[in-house]
Chains A and B, each alone.
Chain A
Amino acid sequence: MSKVYQKVCNLLAAGNFSDREIFDFVSMLQSSNPHEVVDYVSSIRRLLSSEIYGYEKAASFWEPPNNFSFSSEAENKIEHLLLEEAGLPKTLAIALLTQEIQKRFSLQVPNESRKGFSNWVKRLLTILPESELLHIATLIRNQYVHESNYDWRLK
């Protein structure tokens, strides 16, 4: 058990949180961006060291920052649909997604990422809603999965 882990557990114990609150906290932490958590903790430090710390500040202290972002399931689902279910090579999956997005939205699609398919999909999610991108990926998946059945068509 690391020292940091032990210290955070000690803080939680000292904070008198319920089991449910600790479960909630851990699950929220797991789905949070580490940089944003660090920024948030820094803002709390500044607030605590401020001389004007008072009730109004304390009330706003508990409001979550609006830009707090969470990881999405979209990358995993898109990767599973196109690479595993449809069996497409990564370059073809990228080409098909790019083609379909440009046809529908005439958007500037980012180039293929050296960091892998999942990372490229993450960048796409900054320009398109995740449900829209999953819709397009499902269309491509269906097209390829159903086409592969044609070999078995009765003559």
Chain B
Amino acid sequence: MSKIDKKKQGIVVAVLNMKGGVGKTTISAHVFRHLHSHLKKSVVLIDFDPQFNLTQTVISQASYEKHKADKRTVLSVMEDHTAPSIFKISTAMGPPPKLDEVGIRLKGSIINPELNLHLVPGDFDIAKYSLINDSKVLLPVKERFLKFVENVRKEKDVVCIDCNPSSSFMTLCALQAATHVVVPVRPDRYSLLGLKMLDRFISEMPEIINKPKLTILLNGVKSQGYDPAVENSLRSDPQFGPKTMVASLHMSKVLEASHSYTGFATDKRQSWRVTPRITTIVTELGKSLGII
């Protein structure tokens, strides 16, 4: 069997809310890692936030520094290595790299080698795109990113893009590449506002021709003493209610970032505290994304 299945066309999921701190990275890391193992899908995680919290969650600092020195980060997806300075972009833009040139294989199956989980590490240097106002200058960067994602879709089942919470150039790149958007929403009114802003951004931005399908996932639900007022308001909303997943992600220390642990929550010793819930989420999400 050839490595690249020509008929394959994976899905591209942008994990995004215009409000920060809603759990984008938690969902990109732990839910999509479990989606890989539970639904048996090949998954590529792209850390598309200059803060690169996703990368810091799943690989060690020493490992990251080695990959950064080898130019195996998302910056190499956006442009080649000839950029004259941090405030300028490369003028001689070649084709995008292959996944193997920039991605790190984090998990894999011995029986089925094509069933694996990759990470394209983040890079603080992509913050420079927020400082460049001329969209013409950034056009080759965007085209290179879109081509990279298009190529990866031919090999993998799911590409998950962990976005940063702003209406920036990078958000536009992610939304142009995305077939689906998973919107994490905390049960507070501010993250509902972020959801509405995102929906408006997608609807009104003419560059986003193929509008991605929205799926809303409630995150940070308290296991005890929970006030469902915001959840009821979201679920009864005529536009967003039917798009809100029934399963929600509960608050848990196992999901929180910790200095003493680098890796996925479902690989921790205490994973049994969160795995059944993440399994329910992954099963419903798989249906919503049309992959089961």
Contacts and interface: CB of A to CB of B under 8 A. Distances in A.
Interface in A39-67: 58-59, 62-64, 66
A63 B111 CA distance: 10
Interface in A56-88: 58-59, 62-64, 66, 70, 72-74, 77
Interface in A1-46: 19-20, 23-24, 27-28, 30-31
A108 interface: no
Contacts of B232: 138, 141-142
Given A72-B284, A73-B246, A74-B246, A135 B111 contact: no
B280 A73 contact: yes
A129 interface: yes
Nearest to B267: A20
Given A27-B276, A30-B276, A135-B235, A59 B111 contact: yes
B283 A70 contact: yes
A63 B275 contact: no
Given A64-B40, A72-B284, A142-B236, A134 B246 contact: yes
Chain B interface residue number, banded: 20 to 34
Contacts of A130: 246, 284
Nearest to B237: A135
B271 A138 contact: no
Given A72-B284, A138-B241, A62 B40 contact: yes
Interface in B261-292: 266-267, 269, 271-272, 275-276, 279-280, 283-284, 288, 292
Contacts of B71: none
Contacts of B271: 20, 23-24
Given A58-B111, A64-B39, A129 B242 contact: yes
A139 interface: yes
A70 B246 contact: no
Given A64-B39, A74-B246, A135-B244, 20 more contacts: A20-B266, A20-B271, A24-B271, A27-B279, A28-B38, A28-B279, A31-B280, A31-B283, A58-B111, A62-B109, A62-B112, A66-B292, A72-B280, A73-B247, A130-B246, A134-B241, A135-B236, A138-B241, A139-B236, A142-B236
